[in-house]
A and B are shown apart, each in its own frame.
Chain A
Amino acid sequence: MSALLDFLGDYTIQNVLLGAILLGVVSGVLGSFAVLRQQSLLGDTLSHAALPGICLGFLIAGARELPAILGGALVTAMLAALAMLVLTRSSRLKTDAGLGIALSIFFAFGVVLLTYIQGTAGASQGGLDSFLFGQAAAILRSDLYVMAAIAALALALVLALWKEFKLVAFDPGFAATLGLPVLVLETVLTVTIAFAVVIGLQMVGVVLMASMVIAPAVAARQWVRRLETMVVLAALFGVVSGVVGALISAAGRNLATGPLIILAATVLVIVSMLLAPERGILWDALRRRRQERRLEADRVLATVYDLASHHRDRRYAAEESMIDAYHGMATRPALSRLSKRGLVQPSRHMPEEGRHWVLTDAGLDEARRRHPDGQGLGQGASSD
């Protein structure tokens, strides 16, 4: 216990935790809008395009000054988004192609700048390459103030423009007929997502930041019915993966922070995809299987009923192998389930001839209900 308290009392660990919380909240909230607007790739382009800005910020400030670096990152990320918009609006290029082109050009430029800085500034280059995959332990208290300011601004925008963002994400055409400036709102949303990306640069790095935008939102979508809850849950998932990843990185042997955070988020995505009620793949498969069994049992019941009808005997004991032959498969499981539901029962009729099954009164009613035009058996299940 005291070891844990020591651990949490550690200055670096505190910074890492606070940073992870800020990052998780902002990327979860804004990632929800990016995912719902089917612009998951936008996060990828924005984060890769931040690299040249990081380098330019460093060159202009002359040192590893976070405000200059993040400011530069924000500028080039937004330039990339603008380039994408111009590309797709002025040509027949589709959005994904535009995003891909903007991503590669800006990232290439960033890598060139990064190698240039490493070549000239030598040892004083200030570990700019940690922005590629993130380095949680490098976060200072003063960095947190910058991150917190950006986070507060982004969240305030979402709160103030909540209903407008929601409508633009769901039905931009309808939003436009209400007189909403859809293009302006979409731009504001994109800029705000750029804010989220910039916050994550130090912890997750430019290469994997896109997953931090996408993964918590995708995981949250599985569990919710409303945008309000999705945003809150995505923020929570973002915080959890950020904290888990950053703690492992800070406590362990200098493992890269970004990949660890993304791996934690991936676990949440996989669990949510499989297990979420209503939308989970596992429940879906179970439901389908249950339905198949139900249908199978219904068909077997119909067969027993048909046999009884043909023999004009509602107590007719149908031999199991005959039912098997009719269905071309073993019907024992289906018959057992019908028996559990009280619709058929095994008969003691000629035990040496193999198992036989008889309709119960309830089974007769059920079969009649399903085949109201069935001939041969009179009304009244219990009249004999």
Chain B
Amino acid sequence: MRGVFTAAGRTADDPLHEPALAVHVEDLTVSYQGKPVLWDIDINIPPGVMAAIVGPNGAGKSTLIKAILGLVPPTAGHVTISGRPYKRQRRKVGYVPQRSSVDWDFPTTALDVVMMGRYGHLGWFRHPGRHERARALAALDEVRMRDFADRQISQLSGGQQQRVFLARALVQEADVYFLDEPMAGVDATTERTIVGLLQMLRDRGKTVIVVHHDLQTVQDYFDWIVILNVRVIAQGPVGTAYTLENLHRAYGGQISLIDRGPLAGPRGPEAPLDAAGDRHP
């Protein structure tokens, strides 16, 4: 019964497509009511990096994650995770949606929400048991929320709710994690906890992909970057792709807020527009 939510079947003799990449997106286009929101996106993210997706408001950052995860229907394009189509790899993918995407007044406890991360492994008709409970408690421990396990989720602060979501992703035991603005509107302690955990996941060889809004912290937190504005403006290691010129091309005139990073330091070498061949060192 394990994992029956995931399409089962042929794996061994399938040819792998770009197996060396954790995430490979090809020609992805998403339109909403006739207007392209994402246009001809090609993205390659190697395994074991912590990648930021940045871009101005309306650049399609969240839509990109949702399209990769099949939550919004793409007009064109396809996605592979570690060489196989995403639909066959669901169990290798963890997801932290935007906190505002659910009703936190839902009658349930923090522990219960975290256990939902195990549902994919449980399969149909099986209910979570002692094993799932132990996993969920351990994950709550990792996000420093163990004491809040039995707390009603509506009584948690925004940062605590975000940590519960992160714990739910941890128990998914995935190889590739997608997080949609996990640091939006959380306190400094929570941000440190989240970043520490994500970096620990990366150090364990997981791939972590984060929609991020704060350009100030990109260089501190991330080692890989995708700069987006409907199209991919630049992608690659932060050291080469995170340049002032690339940011200008993505943000236009809104860039004056940045007072460190590319503005302060000497410029790195320009990243090519299509960094498809790039590999993390």
Contact = CB atoms under 8 A, between A and B. Distances in A.
Interface in A144-179: 160, 162-164, 166-167, 169-171, 173-179
A191 interface: no
Contact of B6 (A162, A170, A173, A179): A179
B127 A163 contact: yes
Contacts of B128: 163
A230 interface: yes
A178 B97 contact: no
Contacts of B168: 174
B71 A171 contact: no
6 contacts: A166-B116, A167-B119, A176-B69, A176-B71, A177-B69, A225-B152
Given A171-B97, A176-B71, A227 B107 contact: yes
A163 B122 contact: yes
A171 B93 contact: no
Interface string A272-307: 000000000000000000000000000000000000
A89 to B, nearest CB: 11
Given A162-B127, A171-B97, A226-B107, A177 B90 contact: yes
A383 interface: no
Contact of A178 (B5, B107, B108, B127): B5
B109 interface: yes
A178 B109 contact: no
B124 interface: yes
Contact of B119 (A92, A173, A178, A227): A178
A109 B88 CA distance: 47
Contacts of B95: 173-174, 177
- For B33, B109, B120, B152, the residue with the greatest tally of chain A CB atoms inside 10 Å of its CB is B120
B70 A178 contact: no
A166 B116 CA distance: 9
Contact of B93 (A170, A177, A227): A177
Interface size range of chain A in the complex: 20 to 34
Contact of B97 (A38, A167, A173): A173
B207 to A, nearest CB: 16
B188 interface: no
Given A173-B101, A176-B70, A230 B90 contact: no
Contacts of B5: 178-180
Contacts, number: 74
**Top 10 closest pairs, chain A to chain B, by CB:** A179-B5, A178-B120, A177-B95, A179-B90, A225-B152, A171-B102, A179-B6, A177-B69, A170-B106, A230-B107
A179 B91 CA distance: 9
A346 to B, nearest CB: 41
B103 interface: yes
B116 A170 contact: yes
A36 interface: yes
A221 interface: yes
B7 A179 contact: yes
A156 B256 CA distance: 60
Interface string B83-110: 0000100100101010001110011110
A225 B151 CA distance: 9
A171 B108 contact: no
Interface of A: 36, 38, 92, 160, 162-164, 166-167, 169-171, 173-180, 221, 224-227, 229-230
A217 B45 CA distance: 47
Contact of B106 (A36, A160, A163, A178): A36
Interface in B168-189: 168
B42 interface: no
Interface of B: 5-7, 33, 66, 69-71, 87, 90, 93, 95, 97, 101-103, 106-109, 112-113, 116, 119-120, 122, 124-125, 127-128, 152, 168
Given A163-B127, A164-B124, A179-B5, A174 B109 contact: no
Contacts of A163: 119, 122, 127-128
A173 B100 CA distance: 12
Contacts of B66: 173
A175 B6 CA distance: 12
Given A171-B116, A175-B119, A230-B107, 6 more contacts: A92-B33, A171-B102, A177-B95, A221-B107, A225-B108, A229-B107
B108 A173 contact: no
A163 B7 CA distance: 19
B75 to A, nearest CB: 17
Given A174-B97, A178-B5, A225 B109 contact: yes
Contact of B108 (A92, A164, A175, A226): A226
A226 B116 CA distance: 14
Nearest to A182: B71
Contacts of B93: 177
A227 B128 CA distance: 15
A38 B106 CA distance: 11
A77 B46 CA distance: 51
Given A171-B102, A171-B116, A178-B120, A225 B107 contact: yes
Contacts of A221: 107
A10 B165 CA distance: 55
Contacts of A180: 5, 119
B71 A173 contact: yes
Contacts of A173: 66, 71, 95, 97, 101
